[in-house]
Amino acid sequence: MAQWDEQSVGEELLACEAERRDREPFTDEWPELDVDTGYRIQDATLAKRLARGEKLIGVKLGLTSEAKQKRMGVYAPFVAWLTDAMVLEPGQPVPQDKLIHPRIEPEIVFTMKDRLSGPGVTRDSAMAAVGSISRGAEIIDSRYKDFRFKAGDVIADNASSGAFVVGADEVSPDDIDLVNEKVEVYTDGELVYTGTGADVQGHPGEALALAANDLARRGLAIEPGWIVLTGGITDAVFAPPGGRTEAKFSTLGEITIDGGEPADGAGQQDGAAG
């Protein structure tokens, strides 16, 4: 049995990502990998991403919907990092050659105009710091087989980060009813999921406040210009090569993501987190 610590877990997660290789969760062998330890590992791997030239551009939330929490058996949201290496431009296919077992979920996306620093951030104060709102989709991935993990595992793994796309159109926070903003998710033309902004912590602004307050525990804040992915509105859909996923929002518009070309190497498995 391997003897894991924060440094070796971080190194292994980055190696799995680079090699498109999944593994069993670390908590099978190291049950002390708890939430706080996971965040320390997450921050250490971010430092390595930045050292190799990536740019920090925002944060994402994971497991903000009840449906996702039930699916994964992890009953609390969490925060992770976004870098420019994760950006997928509209129209680009799923980067199958970089991911292990990608899945897609629709997101309401905030772009920040003001710094947002906790503790004590409320939904109202969080929304006052938002500059614009866009449609988006996250292509989640995981370095764990079958997306099986505990909270510490997935937090260390940067909340199953993979890639994300943000629609070009933006609306003002004053011009949209976020609670009732509806999305329909289609796989190869078949409707598979529907949801509304209310499925994200009751209101996506609550997720934003949660992120700011959580970051404050680590002495961090959400900075102006950052992108915030507020969490999957619905469960995620498998994104195989050659497939097609559409997320149709009632106000924000549509995003279509093609599955792209197959890549050799990693197996594709079912699961979801993000």
Residue 51 CB-density burial (10 A; 0-12 exposed, 13-18 middle, 19+ buried): exposed
Pairing, β 227-232 against β 56-62: parallel
Q: Is the bond into 119 cis (omega within 30 degrees of 0)?
A: yes
Q: Is 132 in contact with 111 (CB distance < 8 Å)?
A: yes
pTM equals 0.93
Q: How many independent structural domains does the chain possess?
A: 1
228 within 8 A of 116, measured Cβ to Cβ? no
What's the confidence (pLDDT) of residue 269?
43
Domain assignment present for residue 274? The answer is no
- Answer whether residue 188 is part of any domain: yes
Report the Cα–Cα distance between both ends of the chain, in Å, rounded: 29
- DSSP strand E in 121-232: where? 130-140, 163-166, 182-187, 190-196, 227-232
Rounded Cα gap, residues 34 and 100, in angstroms: 24
Q: What is the DSSP letter of 170?
A: -
- Give residue 63's pLDDT: 73
What's residue 66's pLDDT? 65
Nearest to 143 by CA among 53, 38, 56: 38
Residue 90's pLDDT is what? 94
Is residue 134 assigned to a domain?
A: yes
- Evaluate whether 179 touches 102 at the Cβ level (below 8 Å): no
| 43 in a structural domain | yes
* pLDDT value of position 69: 60
User: Is 272 within a domain?
Assistant: no
Which residue range is the domain that position 212 belongs to? 6-258
Q: Identify each DSSP E strand in the chain by its residue range.
A: 56-62, 78-83, 103-112, 130-140, 163-166, 182-187, 190-196, 227-232, 237-238, 244-249, 253-258
122 part of a folded domain: yes
**What is the rounded distance in angstroms from the CA atom of residue 188 to the CA atom of residue 125?**
40
269 found inside a domain: no
Long-range contacts of 188-195 (CB under 8 A, 24+ apart): 188/243, 188/244, 189/244, 192/237, 193/234, 193/235, 193/237, 194/234, 195/65, 195/67, 195/106, 195/233, 195/234
The answer to whether position 77 is within a domain reads yes
pLDDT, tens digit only, all 274 positions of the chain = 568 999 999 999 999 999 999 999 999 999 999 999 999 999 999 999 999 999 999 999 987 666 666 666 665 689 999 999 999 999 999 999 999 999 999 999 999 999 999 999 999 999 999 999 999 999 999 999 999 999 999 999 999 999 999 999 999 999 999 999 999 999 999 999 999 999 999 999 999 999 999 999 999 999 999 999 999 999 999 999 999 999 999 999 999 999 999 987 444 444 444 5
Rounded distance between C-alpha atoms, residue 132 and residue 147, angstroms? 32
- CATH number for the domain that contains residue 192: 3.90.850.10
Q: Calculate the CA 218 to chain-centre distance.
A: 19
- What is the chain's alpha carbon radius of gyration, rounded to the nearest angstrom? 17
